[in-house]
Structure 1
Amino acid sequence: MATDEAAAPVKRPRVTAEREREVPTATLQALGDTGYEALSMDDVAARAHCSKATLYRLWRTKAGLVSAAVRSSGPVRPAEVDTGSLRGDLITVAERLARHAPEDSRLYAALSHAILTDDELASAVQTALFRPDTEHVMRFVDRAVERGELTHRPAAADFLPQTMRSLAMSRPALDGTLLDPDYLGRFIDDWVMPALLHT
């Protein structure tokens, strides 16, 4: 007959907050090294110094794990940025993109093909990164309307979030260099602001 001790469920140790913060970093490092298709829970667990079972308790699928890691490196939120001008807000976002260009470029390279072939991953990344990215940048535009900088939300604003992200993906491929603040500043002053102010 089983004893009470034998029948009692095994208590698994809880994941510490510090360890949970290490998992996204480990995931992004592994993703950059191997690409999405070759990414394994075993590799991430080894890098994060935790068990594979721990990962599966927190994230049931590889796509879920990757989307959580992508979310951890997500866009600047409107509440964190309010310079008082649309140009200032966009320059602040541009500076963040430039700071994270090395990591982001590897991330996009690792995900680009997988997003086209894996519907679960595509949905997860869109939810974690691209949709919030769009909402946040559009909020900067709406604040400019509220301040009177713009008379309305220009049609050109619809292309702004995708265009800013696409620069991080395309510049390394086109000319072998990463985004930098000067390049993004010229992009905002010479292309973005004229398009927003004159539509």
Structure 2
Amino acid sequence: MTSQAADGPETVVASRRSKISREREQEFFDAVLEQIRECGYEAVTMDGVAASTRCSKSTLYRQWKTKPQFVVAALRSRRVSKFEGIDTGSLADDLREVARAAGRWSTGDTKLLQALGHAVNQDAELATALREALVHPEIAALSEILQRGVERGEISADQPALEYIPCQLFGVIRVRPVVEGEYADPDYLVRFVDAVVLPALGLT
């Protein structure tokens, strides 16, 4: 009886101490991803994230046992498309809105991809989480936008350029920093859509 009474409260206290709010958890996730962008994956430590978020290192280790687990969780917390809600009623205007949305986040996400490059090649789970966070939601949302254009009769379902649109858009975002030394901002991407994507689809 004494043992049960002692174990019960201690277990409850430990459980309470291990819980953090969703908002606080997101602070940790934002901090680790920002440090990766700025310093590179290898330079980021649990100590550094703890210091920047004013928490104890033990708090982080209690939630995520290793840095890779922590980073994977942070990436997976972002699985929401930036293209969510885009539906202007016109495929051409939808794609221009996609370009504007992509341009607003392309700098941060491109830096993150670059910073995670080597680590992703070494860690399959990290690579999967990266695709789930930064690629799959956007491809799915873009595919829906294109499908609506087909359903409205703006383009035909057998339009040969359809399958290449995601690679066109995401490719230019990733490649421009390498080729021109600048990130693809909203203005650049809208011009790219008007000059390249829409003509490929037979739209203006």
TM-score normalised by structure 1 residue count = 0.83
SS in 1 for 2:30: helix
Structure 1 residues 3, 19: closer, same or farther in 2, change over 3 A?
A: same
Equivalent residues in 2 for 1:1-199 (5 A)? 4=4, 6-8=6-8, 9=11, 10-13=14-17, 14-71=19-76, 72=78, 75-78=81-84, 80-152=85-157, 154-197=159-202
Higher radius of gyration, 1 or 2: 2
Q: How far off is 1:36 after superposition?
A: 1.9
Q: Contact (CA 8 Å) 1:145, 1:153: kept in 2 or not?
A: no
Structure 1 residues 24, 6: closer, same or farther in 2, change over 3 A?
A: same
Amino acid at match of 2:197: V
Structure 1 residues 12, 103: closer, same or farther in 2, change over 3 A?
A: same
Larger deviation: 1-10 or 161-170?
1-10
Q: Contact (CA 8 Å) 2:79, 2:133: kept in 1 or not?
A: no
Q: Contact (CA 8 Å) 1:86, 1:141: kept in 2 or not?
A: yes
Gaps of 5+ in 2: none
Separation in 2, partners of 1:52, 1:155: 53
Separation in 1, partners of 2:168, 2:39: 27
Q: Percent of aligned pairs with the same residue?
A: 40
SS in 2 for 1:178: coil
Structure 1 residues 84, 157: closer, same or farther in 2, change over 3 A?
A: same
Q: How far off is 1:51 after superposition?
A: 3.5
Structure 1 residues 116, 159: closer, same or farther in 2, change over 3 A?
A: farther
Gaps of 5+ in 1: none
Structure 1 residues 87, 53: closer, same or farther in 2, change over 3 A?
A: farther
Q: Could you report, residue by residue, the CA deviation over 1:35-80 in whole angstroms, capped at 9, with x for unpaired residues?
A: 12333233223223334444345445534433443452853244x1
Q: How far off is 1:156 after superposition?
A: 2.4
Structure 1 residues 159, 47: closer, same or farther in 2, change over 3 A?
A: farther
Structure 1 residues 106, 48: closer, same or farther in 2, change over 3 A?
A: same
Separation in 2, partners of 1:74, 1:162: 19
Structure 1 residues 95, 77: closer, same or farther in 2, change over 3 A?
A: closer
Q: Contact (CA 8 Å) 1:19, 1:48: kept in 2 or not?
A: no
Structure 1 residues 177, 96: closer, same or farther in 2, change over 3 A?
A: same
Q: Contact (CA 8 Å) 2:64, 2:70: kept in 1 or not?
A: yes
Larger deviation: 106-115 or 44-53?
44-53
Q: Could you report, residue by residue, the CA deviation over 1:143-195 in whole angstroms, capped at 9, with x for unpaired residues?
A: 10111111215342323223322322221221111212222112111111122
Q: Contact (CA 8 Å) 1:68, 1:128: kept in 2 or not?
A: no
Separation in 2, partners of 1:45, 1:168: 32
